[in-house]
Structure 1
Amino acid sequence: MSFNIALSGIAAAQKDLNTTANNIANVNTIGFKESRTEFADVYANSIFANGKTTVGGGVTTTQVAQQFHQGSMQFTNNALDMAINGGGFFITSSGVDSQDFSFTRAGAFKRNQDGFLVDSVGNYLQSFPVDKDGNSTSVSLTTTKPIQVPDTAGSPIKTGNVDISMNLDSTQEAKDPALFDPNDSDTFNNSTAITIYDSLGEAHTLTTYFVRPQDAAYTGESNWVAFYAIDGKPVNLDGGAGSYQTDTTGDGLPDSTGLAQNAAGWTGAAIKFNSAGGYVGTDPAVIKTEALGVGGADVLGPAADGAQTITIKFDNPTQFSEKFNATKLSQDGVTVGRLTNVEVGADGLISAQYSNGSTVPLARVALANFSNEQGLTQVGNTSWKASLASGNALAGEANNGTFGSIRSSALEQSNVDLTAELVDLISAQRNFQANSRTLEVNNTLQQTILQIR
């Protein structure tokens, strides 16, 4: 009997040593959770035995229980490195269409050759689908899907509208619009430019030139003239030049009307302000360019849509006594975007940024929780699978309810306390030695008995 007790103690001490050694070996394993060996005594009794004098039968290992407390954060320069600050597990699958899920706290993800986010062994990170505003459309484990980050964003969209807002300096010197020449800065007062796109996504530069005609003394309404060029080539307005009022005598009354065009027939629009510098309107009321392709301005390539026109809208410009300042320049065209950056929010929303200025919400990282984490089955690669003991996985969004937040550019380190493990190692070694000594003493006693004559 005492042999068996000593052997059970040696086996328990060996199990404790193995567990401690495994913890120490994984002290630098990302997402690793330390284990603790739990023991119970062996005790057998019957209804006819004297319980007061019965000796226990040794020790047995009841469980090697993993401890899921939080590990410390290690910060990195990779946005696809993720750590969960709080409860929850990342969900991974072995294939794009697989529903065989594994769960992990190791968030070292990267893009594979197809643009999917995978871990070090190629398992696919799962996510909830989102709409164009980044809101989750479903929060269910069965609807999760792998996350793919495209290299490009969308198809080209030609520019149709340009919005401009600015202040035109009321104190600037007046000039004659008929003498306007874009190559001579003395013939215009100010200019501003914006990038626009044709139907193929090719970029062009739309430049607006502002000329202040001889109407500054008129206190009822004053005017400016705007001329347009694309890539340095003149672009006329659909419907011809607008008109502006002038006061050449300085009596405060308009005495003539001029056309917004230069000597070469280059047409422009008149921008009208009241005596307080507030925006009144334009002439023509809708500023629209002629066709930009062959047969029109001929400023686009031969393969682009030649019928493209651009409508220019002024968004409450002002004419104050301060320097020229463009406060708004926007357009609605888009070129093909190349991936420039990926961001992951605390709520798990993954957004891709592209070279065309667009930001596209791609997916929301899915997390899972369990009623009994210690009931999870280890499968290696710092991953677990659900079991009857753990209960079914409950999926949810990060930073919501019992689910922790996601830290991008960070990894959760092993939660092993190396100092404590070294102390446990010494304790387990002493335990092993003590049980070995017990076995040795039992052997000596039996030898003594066998030598009795």
Structure 2
Amino acid sequence: MSLTASMWTGVSGLRGHGQKMGTIGNNIANVSTVGFKGSRMHFEDFMSQSVSVANGIGQVGRGVAVGAILGDFSQGSLETTNESTDVAITGNGFFTVSPPGEAVTYYTRAGNFRFDKDGYLVDPHGYRVQGWEIGQQQVDQFIGQVNMEQGQQVNIQGVPDDIRLENFQSPPQATNNFGMILNLDSQSQTIDTNPAPGAAEPNLWANWNAVANNPPIGEQQYTYQSTLRVYDDNGGGHNLTVYFQQREPVAGEPAANKYWQYIVTVPPESDLRGIVPAESAGLLFQGEMVFNAAGNFIEMQNMQSLLNPPVAPPGPGAAGPPVFSQNGYPLVYANFLGVDPEDMQPIELNFGIRSGDGAGGAWEPDALNTTSFASPSTTLFQAQDGYTAGFLQNISISREGVLTGRYSNGQVTELYALTLADFNNVWGLRREGGNLFAETRDSGPGLTGIAGSGRLGTIASNALELSNVDLATEFVKMISTQKGFQANSKTITTTDMMLDEVIRMKR
């Protein structure tokens, strides 16, 4: 091997260490870049030249080459922020973004996202963040309880697409069901159920008169009342009040049982049914609760609805038989908007007991139900599923990457789920600049899923992942790289001195 070859061996060392210094410099330059993943350069010997030696053939190295530049995908530390759309991944995975109008997907660990003027969630380049739409959960008619399949956490639909908030308003929803769970004092005052011959039997619903009285029922004509707010299709709110009064048992009824009459009412001015007499305006439903001696709810009886669209419309003042929902609860009909009777929306009435046969028989108490114990009457729980229109107030993102909108009407709606992707070979990803990666044949296709599923990490909202570059480590590498560069330069200068000696031999 000639002296010139030795000089080129030193040159390969200079070139390699210069490139490594460039890698170190890039790491240091991005020490404050959000979501940046550093790189490490690995050297390998370039090649070896065979030379003759006393015992055969030997090899002499001809320098160094860059063997690999591998990304460091270790977790970076998190920085808290004041923006809910700043998100970080703790664990494996990448956010997915796509340029507008292009069928191209990039991957990033930088979660500094914002909504643009068109409602798209975008990164700093304007690339749109990808996610799944979330289907609205099926709401059971029993006071708004949500049914979810066993083990199902996020009800995603379709394929990942641009995350966009097209409507910053939550439309109103009419009340479809309401429930009241109460305790009615068994020792409260009762009404006489055995009046003098010829006198009308006193009852709670006979006390209601929207023409003669204001309010339609007096304070001395009932024992207890409970009110909650219900909503029509236009989002208008109306007070729905249920009045209760205990009565004495009549002949043929078990004397140990407790009997409570009730009426379901709204303000007369809110009642636009139009086919009931004026004195009955606002009186929607009436019935009786029956409790055993221990105060447990056992059945309902004598129920009447003053309007019942599923059957032939009754004449003025007529009372139709109660109609039960598919869950076995009686239905109350109200008309707040003056629509045709057949278009009225029934409201499910739930006191914690249902008809097992859906026809008013075989009553089955729920786990949470109304009681009649010897303690003051009180409302233990009440709920309804309607609400007025509302405007989006803020967005939050859960550990599973679910974007949830909170509206001024109190509604909390799951909108989208961020799409995360992982790769079998993350070191095969290609860096595209701008904190973006692109898949290659070496990386394999992205394996998408919900945060927290499989090997994917979870999402931290109001946080950003910082660069994983460690300055102390980079400075140590810088020193060793500088010394390596300096040593290789000495190889060249020493070889130069040797060549000078060869040239001086001719003198």
The verdict on a shared fold, with TM-score over 0.5 as the criterion, is: yes
For 1:214 and 1:236, how far apart are their aligned partners in 2? 34
User: Partner residue of 2:238?
Assistant: 204
Change (3 A) 1:402 1:290: closer
User: Partner residue of 1:401?
Assistant: 454
Deviates more, 1:57-66 or 1:421-430: 57-66
For 2:297 and 2:400, how far apart are their aligned partners in 1? 44
For 1:382 and 1:212, how far apart are their aligned partners in 2? 72
1:135 is aligned to 2:140 = no
Q: Which of 228, 239, 250 is residue 194 of structure 1 equivalent to?
A: 228
CA contact (8 A) 1:80 1:408 kept: yes
CA contact (8 A) 2:285 2:306 kept: no
CA contact (8 A) 2:334 2:344 kept: no
Deviates more, 1:396-405 or 1:86-95: 396-405
User: Partner residue of 2:494?
Assistant: 441
For 1:307 and 1:135, how far apart are their aligned partners in 2? 31
Return the letter of the residue paired with 1:278: N
Q: Matches of residues 10-409 of structure 1 in structure 2 within 5 Å?
A: 10-45=14-49, 54-95=59-100, 97-133=101-137, 134-137=154-157, 143-152=159-168, 155-173=171-189, 178=207, 182=215, 188-212=222-246, 219-230=255-266, 269-274=286-291, 275-279=293-297, 284-287=302-305, 300=336, 312-316=349-353, 317-409=370-462
For residues 292-325 of structure 1, give each alpha carbon's deviation from its aligned partner in whole angstroms, at most 9, with x where no partner exists.
Answer: xxx9999957899996675644334222111222
For 1:415 and 1:151, how far apart are their aligned partners in 2? 38
User: Partner residue of 1:246?
Assistant: none
- Partner secondary structure for residue 303 of structure 2: coil
CA contact (8 A) 1:10 1:435 kept: yes
Shift of 1:168: 1.3
Percent sequence identity is 30
Deviates more, 1:280-289 or 1:36-45: 280-289
Return the letter of the residue paired with 2:178: V
For residues 268-287 of structure 1, give each alpha carbon's deviation from its aligned partner in whole angstroms, at most 9, with x where no partner exists.
Answer: 73533344333355565144
Return the letter of the residue paired with 1:315: G
CA contact (8 A) 2:51 2:58 kept: no
Shift of 1:94: 0.8
Return the letter of the residue paired with 1:114: D
For 2:18 and 2:281, how far apart are their aligned partners in 1? 98
- Partner secondary structure for residue 277 of structure 1: coil
- Partner secondary structure for residue 29 of structure 1: coil
- Partner secondary structure for residue 285 of structure 1: strand
Unaligned runs of 5+ in 1: 242-260
Change (3 A) 1:264 1:100: closer
Shift of 1:446: 4.2
User: Partner residue of 1:247?
Assistant: none
Normalising by structure 1, we get a TM-score of 0.77
For 1:196 and 1:264, how far apart are their aligned partners in 2? 17
CA contact (8 A) 2:50 2:60 kept: no
Return the letter of the residue paired with 1:326: T
Deviates more, 1:163-172 or 1:275-284: 275-284
Return the letter of the residue paired with 1:272: M
CA contact (8 A) 2:27 2:469 kept: yes
Shift of 1:341: 4.6
Q: Which of 411, 414, 424 is residue 467 of structure 2 equivalent to?
A: 414
Deviates more, 1:46-55 or 1:112-121: 46-55
Normalising by structure 2, we get a TM-score of 0.69
Change (3 A) 1:21 1:181: same
Shift of 1:59: 1.7
For 1:8 and 1:149, how far apart are their aligned partners in 2? 56
- Partner secondary structure for residue 419 of structure 2: strand
Return the letter of the residue paired with 1:57: R
For 2:107 and 2:50, how far apart are their aligned partners in 1? 45
CA contact (8 A) 2:89 2:109 kept: yes
Change (3 A) 1:5 1:286: farther
User: Partner residue of 1:253?
Assistant: none
CA contact (8 A) 1:82 1:407 kept: yes
CA contact (8 A) 1:158 1:334 kept: yes
For 2:409 and 2:281, how far apart are their aligned partners in 1? 36
CA contact (8 A) 2:70 2:427 kept: yes
Shift of 1:228: 5.0
CA contact (8 A) 1:235 1:289 kept: no
Shift of 1:127: 2.3
Shift of 1:83: 2.7
Shift of 1:84: 2.6
CA contact (8 A) 1:231 1:299 kept: no
CA contact (8 A) 1:238 1:289 kept: no
Change (3 A) 1:84 1:49: farther
Shift of 1:35: 0.5
For 2:432 and 2:118, how far apart are their aligned partners in 1? 26
For 1:236 and 1:89, how far apart are their aligned partners in 2? 57
CA contact (8 A) 1:234 1:266 kept: no
- Partner secondary structure for residue 339 of structure 1: strand
CA contact (8 A) 1:289 1:311 kept: no
For 1:149 and 1:393, how far apart are their aligned partners in 2? 26
CA contact (8 A) 1:199 1:304 kept: no
Shift of 1:154: 5.6
Shift of 1:385: 0.7
Deviates more, 1:407-416 or 1:178-187: 178-187
User: Partner residue of 2:10?
Assistant: 6
Deviates more, 1:302-311 or 1:397-406: 302-311
User: Partner residue of 2:484?
Assistant: 431
- Partner secondary structure for residue 201 of structure 1: coil
- Partner secondary structure for residue 45 of structure 1: strand
